[in-house]
Amino acid sequence: MHLEADEYVAKMQEAAGQVNYLKAKLVELKHGSRPQEIAKANADLSEVQAQFENARVRDRPNAGILAFNISPRCVKSVYARR
C-alpha cells in the first residue's frame, strides 16, 4: 500500500510542477518576449542559418558557382591555384 501512496505523491508533485510551468508560460505569452530574448532568438537563428549554409556549400561545393554559369574549367583552374 505504501508504494501506491508514494506514486500518488510523485504524480501530484509532477502535476503541480506542470501547472506552475504552464502558469509561467501563460504570463510570458501575455506579456510578450523581452528584447533580450528576441535578440538571443535572432542570434540563434542566424547561427543555425550559417551552419545550414556551410553544410550546403560543403556538401555541394560547386552549387553556388554553377548558379552563376561559371564553366567547370574555370572552377578547376581556381582550385588548382590554391
Q: What is the pLDDT of residue 22?
A: 92
Mean pLDDT in consecutive groups of 10 residues from the start of the chain, 82 residues? 76 90 88 82 87 76 56 62 56
DSSP result, 24-65: HHHHHHHH---HHHHHHHHHHHHHHHHHHHHHHHHHSTTHHH
